[in-house]
Homo-oligomer: A and B are copies of this chain.
């Protein structure tokens, strides 16, 4: 009897074993198996199309220990979830989390090591993660290699940047997977710190489009205590393999059981719009660790920042190229007369912010050390507490308070992270003393600890430590040059934004960002979280400042307005100089009106590297805002307003003028006003490299 019972159990196992698991709407089909080498393989179909062919999973641990074959299945568990959760802030105010879950407990026959793989299949994609549970055979161990594969089913078009341990600041290349090669024809001279492992590595999120019109996006969710993932491309067989960011010894992660890896995510749809609308990555992250979130508020801000990029101001106070911050008598230095972060200038920015309803002012260059901060791999570079002689912390703090404007602290670390961490408590004491609410952090340069990378486990843990320290002190974080987001802002809602990409600033002093750049970013960088893209440049050509300058932002003015809707960020900058906004008050009105926190989001039209059209409803009112952007091609769109509520709205359309062109005539725009309702359709024209912003104010 027992024999037959175990046979039944065995066959049941085998039956469960060989049954696929489906998404709630049944469109996605996940299958798995153990092959004859005992390797665990999975594959994925969408509406019967192959998305991922048979792909292996597993690890190599240190000292070359295989944990990828010779497995047996100990247990299979099925589960499902269907819930709705509220966001602290976001593109939407609530999110549905609906999936079927499959959890397989494996053990390796030879070693008795245990590994658990959990799959969650959503209607719009798949996420899976590994877990090393508490066990006898694994306590402290090192991951040398993660062997996760994504065997793609076609030579898809890919929108990619090189995998680089230290920088995300590349322009995107569009090519087929077989043609991915970061050594060919790229000009990466404007990226100072590059650590590219080879010419066939790409960064995630990786956006792809198949010849059949399927959209596939690969990324990760909940990156904690682990290095970031790149994808190594087998250009012949079209298999992508996980490549983790190493430390200086080639070790990827120093781990201790129990441990769960980040989720590897595959978002799939036959509609590009659904990729942008997907909440899969947020759903895979843990709920907020912060109990009281009342102090966390999205912010629209301005800053003493662009002025430095265009050469009007300097971060540094004096012009010296060799300074020791603790041995310098700052009062004795000769100021260069261009210092941006002066008390007086800051008060002017605070006045502007107060006048136009901006929440906060960022001040860069307020603290000593900028004279020779860059390019020396200098450890003792900033102290985060000593202001320059012309910056009065007390006066600035009181003035901001009197105008009900927040101050954004600036902590450029120069990638000297050991220095930052040892000074952190003192730096936070100062922040609290002078009433700052948030910090923009920066990691420009080569990382210290020397040998670590921006994307390695050590730095990932650093970013997390900063979030936790900030959360304890009720401070929000906007991190630049940090690892690209993976939805962790659900768990740490004080992580308002990150850069971790090639932002608007590149236009000021390099070949800049081509017009298609912003039509790609929502499909790539922003899949993991908001980006502080710093839009809103009105003075588009920089020869305004210096007649010799060849630089410009590759955009029309109307597109810069549209970006406030298209480039989602709860910490959103109106990046230009106040004086430029005052030259175009009618266009500026859109920036004044646009909110930074949303109740609803409709992705109206989108195609990677072509165009993006998004409508969003303000979280705090019934007003809607629309942003439409295009690449180097002009386009016409007809926008149905059926997302509106009943009743009338006053629509203000900020459009490219007919003669607008990102290069030839970028600052030419026109404004239309009309009363509309949900039954109306708006025809809009976008110039080359152009855009359109629409505010719909409920009447």
Contact = CB atoms under 8 A, between A and B. Distances in A.
Q: Number of copies of this chain in the oligomer?
A: 2
A249 interface: yes
A449 B134 CA distance: 27
A424 B324 CA distance: 23
Interface string A422-434: 1011100000000
Contacts of A461: 379
Contact of A322 (B140, B372, B377, B422): B140
Interface string A84-112: 00000000000000000000000000000
Contacts of A372: 139-140
Contact of A451 (B376, B424, B426, B450): B450
A46 B426 CA distance: 53
Contacts of A324: 256
Contact of A140 (B139, B376, B465): B376
A221 to B, nearest CB: 22
Interface in A234-254: 247-249, 254
A256 to B, nearest CB: 7
A451 B322 contact: no
Contact of A378 (B248, B256, B458): B256
A249 B425 CA distance: 30
A468 to B, nearest CB: 10
B379 A254 contact: yes
A421 interface: yes
A324 to B, nearest CB: 7
B248 A451 contact: yes
A36 interface: no
A123 to B, nearest CB: 34
A451 B379 contact: no
B134 A322 contact: yes
Interface in A551-579: none
B322 A139 contact: yes
A481 interface: no
A620 interface: no
B451 A256 contact: no
A39 interface: no
Contacts of A451: 247-249, 449-451
Given A139-B321, A422-B422, A248 B450 contact: yes
Contacts of A254: 377-379
Given A422-B421, A422-B422, A425-B425, A378 B140 contact: yes
A449 B376 contact: no
A418 interface: yes
Nearest to A321: B139
A34 to B, nearest CB: 29
Interface string A447-472: 01111100000100100010000000
A665 interface: no
A465 B450 CA distance: 18
A314 B452 CA distance: 35
Contacts of A321: 139
A458 B451 CA distance: 13
Contacts of A139: 321-322, 372
Contacts of A178: none
Interface in A163-205: none
A21 to B, nearest CB: 31
Contacts of A248: 248, 450-451
Contacts of A424: 422
Interface string A133-165: 010000110000000000000000000000000
A249 B134 contact: no
A257 interface: yes
Contact of A450 (B140, B247, B377, B425): B247
A378 B248 CA distance: 16
Interface in A337-393: 372, 376-379
Interface string A404-438: 00000000000000100110111000000000000
Contact of A465 (B422, B448, B458): B422
Interface string A637-650: 00000000000000
Contacts of A247: 450-451
Contacts of A140: 322, 372, 376, 378
Contact of A449 (B322, B425, B449, B465): B449
Contacts of A452: 449-450
Nearest to A138: B322
Contacts of A425: 425-426
A97 to B, nearest CB: 25
B378 A322 contact: no
A326 to B, nearest CB: 10
29 contacts: A134-B322, A139-B321, A139-B322, A139-B372, A140-B322, A140-B372, A140-B376, A140-B378, A247-B450, A247-B451, A248-B450, A254-B377, A254-B379, A256-B322, A256-B376, A256-B378, A257-B322, A379-B458, A418-B418, A418-B421, A418-B449, A421-B421, A422-B422, A422-B424, A422-B465, A425-B425, A448-B449, A449-B452, A450-B451
* The 4 residue pairs across chains A and B that have the minimum distance between CB atoms: A449-B449, A425-B425, A451-B451, A140-B376
Given A140-B378, A254-B378, 9 more contacts: A256-B376, A379-B461, A418-B418, A422-B422, A422-B424, A449-B450, A449-B451, A449-B452, A451-B451
